[in-house]
Structure 1
């Protein structure tokens, strides 16, 4: 009995996980990296000197319109 990932709510651990901006967060929010940096900079975390990420919780809130811009 396997459950499809799209049919269930994300777990707490999944919501708190950091996802890279490209391609994951871009696909979820349908915003470019420049727009994410411009409007949602306080939710972005540096993963390495060249890579940035964001918590899945914040990306889903942006996509649903529940998170306000800076």
Structure 2
């Protein structure tokens, strides 16, 4: 179910983790840094949506992914 917010958040979290590791090695890669900021913003808005619609799933998801509130 790739359309559900929980799956999208999990995929974005993996992408953010990979981009963060890439940027630690390539400090001058500003194009990727912009992509990271866009991904973080998209994940934040999806988390806000999930929090509004299904609070229990939100709490369970941030605990399993290790995301701060």
TM-score (norm 1): 0.26
Higher helix share: 2
TM-score (norm 2): 0.26
Higher strand share: 1
